[in-house]
Amino acid sequence: MLDNKHHWSAVAGFLVLFHACYSVIAYRNDLKIAGDEFEGVPFLVLIECAIGFGACAWGSIGFAGELVPIKAEPVELPPVTMEKSDDFMTFRHRGRALNPPGKRS
C-alpha cells in the first residue's frame, strides 16, 4: 500500500494537518485558561498547514498513476448516420400527457 514516495508524502501531509488542527485547539484552550481572546491562528501553525497541504498535494499526484498524453486525432470516424442527428431528442416527455397521440384538437 505505501510502496512509493507519493503515498508516504500523502500520509505525512495528513498527519501534519492533523497536528496543526490539534495545535489550534490546544492554543484556544490555553487562551481560555489565561482569559485572553482568540484573535487568530499563530504563524507557525499557518506554516504547518501550508507544509501539510503541499505534502498532500504532492502525494495525490502519485495516486493517479502515469500521465498519458491525449491523442490529437480520433482512431475512427463516427458513422455517417450519426453526423446529421441532433444532439438530444426525446419522444417520451410530459407533453404527451397534455395532448395524447389518439386525440387531436
29 CB-contact burial (10 Å; exposed 0-12 / middle 13-18 / buried 19+) = exposed
CA distance 17 to 14: 5
pTM of the predicted structure, to 2 decimals: 0.58
pLDDT of residue 66: 76
| Contact by Cβ (8 Å): 9, 59 | yes
Calpha distance 22→25 (Å, rounded): 5
Per-residue model confidence as pLDDT tens digits over 24-69: 999 999 999 998 888 888 999 999 999 999 999 988 887 777 778 8
